[in-house]
């Protein structure tokens, strides 16, 4: 179990589907490349967090601005080739849900990428912008003051920009941490590697349960699951929604059969992060270290890990504005959603269904037979 300082203070966490959907090449985000999983479909989620004790509300990430062609010229070409579809900006979603933007004390950016920052100019100047280490020296000023800037002057104009400083004085798992409200209800975590200033967040949803908002620590759960901390069960729990191409009950051999590390298939992630320079990860070795730390927290039964582009969240119906996700543990969400990503693995995994059906028909083996699973 991960050590987290005790506290009686909690926050309410509401899940927001930002309607920013992106399609990318799998090889840009995952290694090794498994034949049959050539692309990744990435929905994008943000979180509205309300501090119960003070009533303060903060927004963690913002999806993309709907008018993305008004991003800085240095960014627009990369967005244009990303297969992006955006229905609404997050400020529209908040207003439609009855959220007064003037009540937001802070916007927290997990990092500076266009699919996480929205359009800060649409929020009141009284709302501070919270960013990670080394942000200001790398991204301020913005465009057009600096012609090749990656962000806009309007993102910062008239707004307090607060850069979080981390130290080793407070550590949660492998992450240096910052106590955002000063009472243990919300921690920001230094999770470098994907981008300059990348941070995650750990929200206390009850006195002893948490939701870890992982940002873009990685883009697919198969990068940190399974692991030594959260091993793949021999049979996928019946609460997990599985595609029709898989047998029911579904033996894990449907997936371990295509795992790149056969002798550790139940305790090693299916993927690692690409380590080539110049890719989607600014510092690949540090990004992989952050994933290792994420994996450790993922193994704690009292922590639900949600990365920003996790397709499993599409199955969650308790969305902003009507619901918070604080009761995730009593609703069994970790058991329901931790292994949903298996459905996205290459279609070759579906051949196990045919093997299963053949075995059933011949009445030779059952899916619970150890010999059948080890084939």
Q: Residue 355 has what pLDDT? A: 54
SS3 60: strand
Q: Are 188 and 278 in contact (CB under 8 A)?
A: no
Contacts of 48 (CB under 8 A, 6+ apart): 13, 14, 16, 57, 58, 59, 60, 94, 99, 320
Torsion sign over Cα 118, 161, 182, 106: negative
| Residues 6+ away with beta carbon under 8 Å from 45 | 15, 16, 17, 18, 61, 63, 306, 308, 309, 310, 313
Which residues are paired to 25 by β-bridges? 39
Residue 355 φ/ψ region, left for φ over 0, alpha for ψ in the -120 to 50 degree band, beta for the rest: alpha
Q: Which tens digit of pLDDT belongs to each residue from 198-226?
A: 999 999 999 999 999 999 999 999 999 99
pLDDT tens digits, 237-252 = 999 999 998 998 999 9
Q: How many residues does the chain have?
A: 375
**pLDDT digit string, tens, across residues 337-360:** 999 999 999 866 656 555 545 545
Position 354 scores a pLDDT of 53
- Give the whole-angstrom CA distance, residue 35 versus residue 250: 22
Q: Name residues whose C-beta falls within 8 Å of residue 243's C-beta, 6 or more positions apart in sequence.
A: 343, 350
Per-residue pLDDT at 370 exceeds 70:
no
Distance CA(188)–CA(182), nearest Å, equals: 11
Return the pLDDT at 349.
65
C-alpha 86/C-alpha 97 separation (Å) is: 18
* Distance from C-alpha of 30 to C-alpha of 42, rounded to nearest angstrom: 13
Confidence category of residue 374, pLDDT binned at 50, 70, 90: very low
For the chain, domains (ranges, CATH) are: 11-230+272-344 (3.60.15.10), 232-266+349-375 (no CATH)
pLDDT of residue 348: 67
């Amino acid at each position: 179990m991960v050590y987290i300082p005790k506290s009686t203070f909690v926050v309410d966490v509401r899940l927001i589907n930002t309607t920013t959907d992106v399609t990318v090449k799998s090889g840009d985000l995952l290694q090794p490349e498994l034949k049959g999983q050539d692309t990744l479909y990435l929905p994008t989620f943000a979180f509205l967090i309300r501090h119960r004790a003070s009533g303060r509300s903060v927004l963690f990430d913002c999806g993309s601005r709907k008018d993305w062609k008004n991003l800085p010229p240095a960014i627009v070409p990369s967005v244009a080739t990303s297969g992006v579809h955006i229905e609404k900006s997050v400020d529209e979603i908040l207003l439609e849900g009855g959220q007064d933007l003037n009540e937001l004390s802070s916007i927290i950016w997990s990092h500076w990428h266009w699919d996480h920052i929205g359009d800060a100019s649409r929020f009141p100047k009284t709302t501070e912008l919270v960013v990670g280490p080394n942000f200001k020296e790398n991204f301020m000023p913005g465009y057009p003051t600096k012609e090749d800037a990656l962000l806009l002057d309007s993102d910062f104009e008239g707004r307090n920009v607060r850069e979080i400083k981390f130290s080793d004085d407070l550590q949660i798992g492998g992450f240096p941490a910052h106590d955002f409200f000063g009472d243990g209800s919300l921690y920001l975590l230094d999770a470098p590697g994907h981008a300059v200033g990348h941070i995650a967040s750990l929200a206390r949803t009850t006195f002893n349960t948490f939701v870890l908002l992982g940002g873009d620590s990685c883009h697919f759960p198969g990068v940190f699951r399974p692991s030594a901390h959260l091993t793949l069960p021999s049979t996928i729990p019946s609460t997990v929604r599985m595609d029709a191409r898989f047998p029911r009950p579904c033996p894990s051999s449907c997936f371990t059969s295509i795992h790149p590390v056969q002798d550790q298939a139940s305790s090693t992630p299916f993927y690692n992060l690409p380590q080539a320079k110049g890719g989607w990860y600014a510092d690949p070795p540090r990004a992989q270290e952050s994933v290792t730390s994420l994996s450790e927290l993922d193994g704690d039964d009292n922590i639900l890990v949600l990365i920003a582009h996790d397709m499993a969240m599409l199955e969650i119906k308790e969305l902003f504005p009507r619901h918070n996700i604080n009761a995730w543990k009593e609703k069994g969400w970790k058991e329901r959603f931790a292994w949903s990503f298996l459905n996205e693995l290459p279609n070759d995994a579906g051949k196990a269904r045919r093997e299963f059906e053949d075995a059933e028909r011949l009445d030779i083996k059952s899916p619970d037979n150890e010999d059948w699973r080890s084939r």
